[in-house]
Amino acid sequence: MRSLLCAIGACLLGLAAQAQEIGDSMRVAVLETALVTAKQKTQQERLYHFFNANKAATTEDILSRLPELSLVRRGSYGMDPVIRAFSASQINVLVDGMRIHSACTDRMDPATIYIEPVNLQSLQVNTGGASLLQGSSVGGSLNLKLAEAELGCEPRLSGSLSSGYQSAAGAFYESAKIGYASHRWGVRASGAYRKSGDYRAGDGQKIPYSAYEKANYSLSGAYLLNHSWRLKATLLGDDGWNIGYPALPMDAGYANARIASLGAIKENAADRWNFFEARLYANKVKHFMDDSRRENVPIPMDMPGLSATWGAFAEGRRRIDGRSQLTLRADGSSSMQSASMTMRQEGQPEMFMLTLPDVRMVQSAVAAGYLLQLDSLSALRLHARGDITRSYLTSQMGRDQLKVFGYEDDRRYFVLPALSASYTRKLTGGLQATVGAVLNGRAPSANELYGFYLFNQFDGFDYVGNASLKAERSLMAEMTIAWQQPKIRWQLSGYYSSVHQYILGIRDPGYSVMTIGARGVKQYRNINRALLTGAEASMIYRPFVNTQLMATLKYSYGEDGRGEALPLIAPLRSIGSLRQQLGQFSIQAEWEAAASQRRVSASAAESPTSGFSIAHLRAGYKINTKQIAWQLDAGVENLFDTAYREHLDWGKIFRPGRNLFVQLTLGF
Amino acid sequence: MKRQFLSVIFIAAGALILASGCKKDSLEPEEDPAAGLHQIVSGYAIGAAVKLELYGNGPLSAGYTPLFFVLYDSVTNQLIEDAAIELRPMMNMGAMEHSAPFENPANKAVDKLFPGSVTFIMATMEMGSWRLEITVRRAGKEGRVSVPVTVSEPPYGRVRSFVSKANGDKLIAAYIEPSKPKVGVNDMEIAIYRSQGMDFPADSSMTVTLTPEMPSMGHGSPNNVDPVHIGNGHYRGKVNFTMTGLWQLNLGLFLEDAVAADDLFFEVNF
């Protein structure tokens, strides 16, 4: 009897998981109150699935095509996500809900590098109130959801193998996954390997130091406890070697990450508490930056870095009545970040300093979300979060270093209250409008508080931390209009964000540079106010069953309180993609275009960027034999071999030129 | 027989352990006033009935050298805490002799030690050797000790002799702090003496600027505090080191507005 119940439970679960993929109609049935949420996410999910269909795409390729996201590029690998005009510590980048801190002081290792498409289940970009549940920030959150071990009604073994080549960088991209699912338990293992040489840019030049090599592997398991509860565990490892960063003066000799988590999940639509998840996680990142492969280095140096984080969170959703739903969450994490620099010169004693002096940051928060369906046409959503972040240094040398700048006390507390409200209303003709406001904030990062002469290649300044920084506070208003017809869906969002105590590096002529060739020293300061505003639009049009047209458009604008442009603000940018399915054959034409960016930051000595337009052609062929599904993807990226660079690319280095790619994937 | 012998050893060992345990309990621990210091010489100032022990922070080397005297009554072996000690360092170079700057201890011991200093302006050489002439006066009695000492050359020069560009005075600058340099904020202290034949009076007239520099990288460090005169020719400020390695502490000496020295520096390596 019991096992029968379990079996039913498992099958229901499978059904629920399927329902998510099928889309809103199923979700509405299961969770009527989440109606608006589901629809809002769908556009993003659809775009994600559209671009994920290309098996040769990397996580970064997918990220760069979402309308809310841009990438700061310092090399072929390790591109740093930007949500709208917010970057680095202004946003929360989470791996399956887990916080992972960079071990590299130059942000060579954003958390997004640890997920390969083979173990990525979905992407969630939250810009508004919903991001409050995941963390305090001024710019929102990006969560990369890891693929989980599946459970199924019938025991089933499944897997895939994929192998590909890209010509511009002579790159190989290999991946494999295997999974076993039974109604009681499931396991899943995946691995990916990428090796890339120096790539050839659009002007025909080989870009030195742009090669990299990496391996990624993960193992996850799920175990069904009863019809609503299951346990899940994940281990993930990522190793990179000799990763080149042409826009930086140094490369990464190696970068290792180890990520582990253990969780319990309850899903039962019939219960009042219909969803609950508790998770414990830990991760450790080791990063070794060096210049051993560079030529003409005045002083060879090594810059190793370490970050270790552990944390836990618990989140539950409760249906209050047919019209409202409450989400409660508690999360906490403790992280350690340290980095040092050792410089060697023939016949001289070694020089050693802590560039990030053993920083401990402890964060804990409670958050709540409340969804109230006012009537059949409108809903109100409220979110609140209270976050306390504490930071301090754990080594005497670190504290002694900080005293050089006159900071006698390294301990800081930040209390970050956050609130948001949004209202959604269905209008006539498939139109739906959402207006919302978010009051949020973030604690300064370890680099901003305690960084010690961190050279920033972008503006050529040494940056020193400021242990007396205040928290950044933001007030954002957002409006989204979505229009849905059977054949067309479009969505337009506009936002206006006023950030108070905005943290920016300000030149201090009283300090002398440490790095040879640096233009000066900047110290992080709170500037009174910065304004960031912009809009993004996306459209998915399906004129015929086998034809899909997708287009996105985004624009952002940023200035400090005195009218000067903020650095690294992407210009107007658009992507369009037309996909035609012809039986087992599909063909896709894609174009990307960006306007020039002439509004540049003078104090960051930022250069203007020209506009560009490039085109890609992709084709896919799928064939299913009895046991194996074959998929061949091939195409040409940057068809016209255009020499171009994006505004967020550092170092005025052109992106890859014409790239022929082929990727063969077989699944069973 | 063998077993008996062993048991005797064990009993003896046990008794020893117990005895030493008792000793610790029953007696006030006798504090060695010179604990942690390095003994340089000892001798008898016979006329004053004093046994004298001389300590330093380590073996003597050229530069400003703190010295610590411990005096005992040579008859009763009691520690002496009130006495006047006069120092005269002498370097004998065969044909000529010269002295060096020094600071006599106060007449009252501090924690049973009489601290003073000698600034050895050079190391012991083949052609020249140092000796310390120490005069002790106590309770109306006076005794003299003359002891040869060996002064080594430190890895980085700690004393500089130069001629003031402002007025032609012969000057001596000696490095005192940081004696244990670390990354962070360090006390910086130097002493300046005028060289007048056999006398080396302290100089209090200088304005000192401090510019630390890492010569291999060409950078400095922020928020240093220029040394200012604090008495007896000592000038104290703050020096900040942002990393380990070899640093050069560049000093500028000014007599009112005139440059007395602009090429003076001490090296610090840690």
pLDDT interval class at B9 (50, 70, 90): low
- How far from chain centre, in Å, is Cα A220? 21
pLDDT of residue A60: 92
Q: Is A155 helix (H, G, I), strand (E, B) or coil?
A: coil
Residue written as token pair 């790239």: A659
pLDDT in tens, B55-68: 999 999 999 999 99
Q: Cα separation of A173 and A186, whole Å?
A: 27
Mean of pLDDT values over A599-609 = 93
Q: Cα separation of B233 and B202, whole Å?
A: 4
Instruction: Please give the domain boundaries of chain A with CATH numbers for all domains.
Output: 2-667 (2.40.170.20)
Look up residue A370 and give its amino acid: Y
Measured in residues, chain B has a length of: 270
Q: In the predicted model, what is the mean pLDDT of chain B?
A: 87
Tell if the CB–CB gap between B184 and A403 is shorter than 8 Å: yes
- How far from chain centre, in Å, is Cα A427? 33
User: What is the bridge-based pairing of β-strands A520-541 and A461-464?
Assistant: parallel
pLDDT interval class at B24 (50, 70, 90): very low
Q: What's the gap in Å between the CA of A298 and the closest CA on chain B? A: 9
More confident residue, A352 or A41: A352
pLDDT of residue B198: 86
pLDDT of residue B45: 87
Quickly count helices (H) and strands (E) in chain A. 6, 30
> Which of A252, A200, A249 is closest to A655 using CA atoms?
A200
Residue B25 has pLDDT above 60, yes or no: no
pLDDT of residue A249: 93
Q: Is the separation of the CB atoms in A48 and A123 below 8 Å?
A: yes
Paired residues of B115 in beta bridges: B68
Q: How far apart are the first and last CA of chain B?
A: 60
Q: In this prediction, what percent of chain B has a pLDDT beyond 90?
A: 64
More confident residue, A490 or B16: A490
Residue A9 has pLDDT above 50, yes or no: no
Instruction: Please give the domain boundaries of chain B with CATH numbers for all domains.
Output: 38-149 (2.60.40), 159-269 (2.60.40.1930)
Paired residues of A475 in beta bridges: A439, A498
| b/e map A530-552, b = 16+ CB within 10 Å | bbbbbbbbbbbebeeeeebbbbb
pLDDT of residue A21: 37
> Which of B234, B236, B266, B247 is closest to B182 using CA atoms?
B247
Structure tokens at A490: 């479009």
* Least confident interval from A420-424, A597-601, B193-197: B193-197
Q: Is A297 helix (H, G, I), strand (E, B) or coil?
A: coil
pLDDT of residue B7: 57
Is the torsion defined by CA of A504, A509, A514, A517 positive or negative? positive
Q: Cα separation of B87 and B104, whole Å?
A: 6
Q: What are phi and psi of A511, to 5 degrees?
A: -100, 145
pLDDT of residue B8: 53
Q: Cα separation of B13 and B22, whole Å?
A: 14
CB contacts, 8 Å: B216 with chain A: 299, 343, 345, 348, 351
pLDDT interval class at B21 (50, 70, 90): very low
pLDDT of residue A18: 40
Q: Cα separation of A332 and A388, whole Å?
A: 9
* Angle, CA of A361, A367 and A373, to the nearest 5°: 155
Q: Cα separation of A125 and A47, whole Å?
A: 12
Q: How far is CA A498 from CA A83, A343, A420, A474, A556, in A?
A: 15, 42, 15, 6, 13
Q: In this prediction, what percent of chain A has a pLDDT beyond 70?
A: 94
Closest CB from A400, A512, A516 relative to B184: A400
Write the DSSP symbol of residue A541.
E
Q: What's the gap in Å between the CA of A81 and the closest CA on chain B? A: 32
Residue written as token pair 């963390």: A135
Mean of pLDDT values over A326-343 = 96
CB contacts, 8 Å: B220 with chain A: 512
Q: Cα separation of A221 and A189, whole Å?
A: 9
Mean of pLDDT values over A597-622 = 95
Closest CB from B184, B218, B244 relative to A351: B244
pLDDT interval class at A396 (50, 70, 90): very high
Shortest CA distance from A347: residue in chain B: B216
Q: Is the separation of the CB atoms in A637 and A659 below 8 Å?
A: yes
Tell if the CB–CB gap between A352 and B185 is shorter than 8 Å: no
Residue A193: count of CB within 10 angstroms of its CB? 17
Tell if the CB–CB gap between A353 and B269 is shorter than 8 Å: no
Q: In this prediction, what percent of chain A has a pLDDT beyond 90?
A: 83
Q: Cα separation of A555 and A236, whole Å?
A: 35
Best of B183, B188, B268 to substitute, by most chain A Cβ atoms within 10 angstroms, is B183
Best of B188, B210, B243 to substitute, by most chain A Cβ atoms within 10 angstroms, is B243
Is the torsion defined by CA of B253, B254, B255, B259 positive or negative? positive
pLDDT of residue B92: 86
Residue B18: count of CB within 10 angstroms of its CB? 10
Q: Cα separation of B120 and B90, whole Å?
A: 9
Q: Is the separation of the CB atoms in A263 and A312 below 8 Å?
A: no
pLDDT in tens, A415-467: 999 999 999 999 988 999 999 999 999 999 999 999 999 999 999 999 999 99
Residue A6 has pLDDT above 80, yes or no: no
Residue B113 has pLDDT above 60, yes or no: yes
| b/e map A453-477, b = 16+ CB within 10 Å | bbbbbbbbbbbbbbbebbbbbbebe
Report the 3 state secondary structure along A53-76: CCCCCCHHHHHHCCCCEEEEECCC
> Which of A183, A139, A233 is closest to A476 using CA atoms?
A139
Look up residue B179 and give its amino acid: S
Structure tokens at A255: 């970068």
Shortest CA distance from A508: residue in chain B: B222
Tell if the CB–CB gap between A345 and B216 is shorter than 8 Å: yes
Q: Cα separation of A452 and A216, whole Å?
A: 32
Q: Cα separation of B83 and A138, whole Å?
A: 71
Q: How far apart are the first and last CA of chain A?
A: 33
Tell if the CB–CB gap between B269 and A349 is shorter than 8 Å: yes
CB contacts, 8 Å: B184 with chain A: 397, 399-404
Q: In this prediction, what percent of chain B has a pLDDT beyond 70?
A: 89
Residue A30 has pLDDT above 70, yes or no: no
pLDDT of residue B23: 45
Best of A299, A396, A401, A410 to substitute, by most chain B Cβ atoms within 10 angstroms, is A401
CB contacts, 8 Å: B246 with chain A: 348-349, 351
DSSP alpha helix (H) spans, A23-174:
24-30, 35-52, 59-64
pLDDT of residue A561: 84
Report the 3 state secondary structure along chain B: CHHHHHHHHHHHHHHHHHHHHHHHHHCCCCCCCCCCCEEEEEEEEHHHCEEEEEEECCCCECEEEEEEEEEEECCCCCEECECEEEEEEEEECCCCEECCCEECCCCECECCEEEEEEEECCCCECCEEEEEEEEEEECCEEEEEEEEECCECCCCCCEEEEECCCCCCEEEEEEEECCCCCCEEEEEEEEEEECECCECCECCCEEEEEEEEECCCCECCCCCEEEEEEECCEEEEEEEECCCCEEEEEEEEEECCEEEEEEEEEEEEC
Q: Cα separation of B125 and B107, whole Å?
A: 33
pLDDT of residue A27: 32
Tell if the CB–CB gap between B183 and A516 is shorter than 8 Å: no
User: What is the bridge-based pairing of β-strands A573-582 and A547-560?
Assistant: antiparallel
Residue A633 has pLDDT above 90, yes or no: yes
Q: Is A642 helix (H, G, I), strand (E, B) or coil?
A: coil
Q: Is the separation of the CB atoms in B176 and B265 below 8 Å?
A: no
Residue B4 has pLDDT above 70, yes or no: no
**Which residues from A are below 8 Å from B when comparing CB atoms?**
299, 341, 343, 345, 348-354, 397, 399-406, 452-453, 510-516
Q: Is B190 helix (H, G, I), strand (E, B) or coil?
A: strand
> Which of A545, A483, A581, A548 is closest to A43 using CA atoms?
A483
Closest CB from A399, A404, A513 relative to B240: A404
Mean of pLDDT values over A641-648 = 96
Tell if the CB–CB gap between B183 and A353 is shorter than 8 Å: yes
Mean of pLDDT values over B190-200 = 92
- How far from chain centre, in Å, is Cα A274? 28
Q: How far is CA B52 from CA A19, A315, B37, B71, in A?
A: 94, 77, 15, 5
Q: What are phi and psi of A461, to 5 degrees?
A: -110, 150
Measured in residues, chain A has a length of: 668
Tell if the CB–CB gap between A341 and B218 is shorter than 8 Å: no
Q: Is A413 left (phi over 0), alpha (psi -120 to 50) or beta?
A: beta
Structure tokens at B218: 């060409």
CB contacts, 8 Å: A299 with chain B: 216-217
Mean of pLDDT values over A262-272 = 93
